[in-house]
Chains A and B, each alone.
Chain A
Amino acid sequence: KNQVEQSPQSLIILEGKNCTLQCNYTVSPFSNLRWYKQDTGRGPVSLTIMTFSENTKSNGRYTATLDADTKQSSLHITASQLSDSASYICVVSPGNNRLAFGKGNQVVVIP
């Protein structure tokens, strides 16, 4: 059973528009949550990492939010660019060094 669920599985957005990706988890206990961006054929690159006490963290046009009470996180992409086309992976750490991975949100930005 996958403890990290991401939605939508895939989406297509117009260049310049915003979008929001969702990550729901059942992992417990909770240590931190990370968002990674993975370009096709490349390794994942860290975007943000948030601990229990952090609600929001930004990295340029990427803003991640965390609600540890409802076990939900979102990644908001502002003013999307063609280079944002990638898979975005939510990773939750339960604190015992075994990370739980979501299957990713596949984002395609079209001109």
Chain B
Amino acid sequence: KAGVTQTPRYLIKTRGQQVTLSCSPISGHRSVSWYQQTPGQGLQFLFEYFSETQRNKGNFPGRFSGRQFSNSRSEMNVSTLELGDSALYLCASSLSPGTGNTIYFGEGSWLTVV
């Protein structure tokens, strides 16, 4: 059974550009969440989707957005990139949003903004 797949794994962008990251959850998982991870801050929650609907959103500016498709695949977009957006972006999936479900993380997308 394939795990959570994130693409691309590495990317470099310049300030002001925008970026789209993709996440394919484990087959059968309908809940997808996104996190930003930086050395100083640890994992920061971005948003969570279930059945194409955003259920929760973290404290990030509106430049960060996401969506989920009918096949549960998800994308997140960051517009007008800033240097501080350089981070590892992790996607995680679970069967449903229930707190008892194990959350499985992908390998992440390393974004460097120059």
Separation of A51 and B104 alpha carbons in the complex (Å): 18
Whether A45 touches B105, Cβ cut-off 8 Å, given contacts A97-B48, A97-B97, A97-B99, is yes
Name A's interface SS.
loop
Q: Is the CB of B42 within 8 A of A43?
A: no
Chain B residues whose CB sits within 8 angstroms of the CB of A98 once the complex forms: 45, 56
Chain B residues whose CB sits within 8 angstroms of the CB of A31 once the complex forms: 99-100
Whether A89 touches B43, Cβ cut-off 8 Å, given contacts A43-B90, A46-B102, A98-B56, is yes
Task: Please name the residue on chain B nearest to A87 by beta carbon.
Answer: B42
Separation of A31 and B48 alpha carbons in the complex (Å): 18
Q: Interface extent on A, as a size class?
A: 20 to 34
Q: Is the CB of A43 within 8 A of B100?
A: no
* Residue interface bits A1-27, CB-to-B below 8 A is 1, else 0: 000000000000000000000000000
Chain B residues whose CB sits within 8 angstroms of the CB of A56 once the complex forms: none
Separation of A101 and B56 alpha carbons in the complex (Å): 16
Task: Please name the residue on chain A nearest to B31 by beta carbon.
Answer: A97
Give the total number of A-B pairs whose CB atoms are below 8 A apart. 49
Whether A89 touches B42, Cβ cut-off 8 Å, given contacts A46-B102, A49-B102, A51-B100, is yes
Least distance between B40 CB and chain A CB atoms (Å) = 8
Task: Please name the residue on chain A nearest to B9 by beta carbon.
Answer: A41
Whether A101 touches B43, Cβ cut-off 8 Å, given contacts A43-B4, A44-B105, is yes
B-to-A contact residues, CB < 8 Å:
4, 41-45, 48, 55-56, 90, 97-100, 102-108, 110
29 contacts between A and B (CB under 8 A): A31-B99, A32-B100, A34-B102, A34-B103, A41-B110, A42-B107, A42-B108, A43-B90, A43-B105, A44-B105, A45-B105, A46-B103, A49-B100, A89-B42, A93-B99, A95-B99, A96-B99, A97-B55, A97-B56, A97-B97, A98-B45, A98-B56, A99-B45, A101-B42, A101-B44, A102-B42, A103-B41, A103-B42, A104-B42
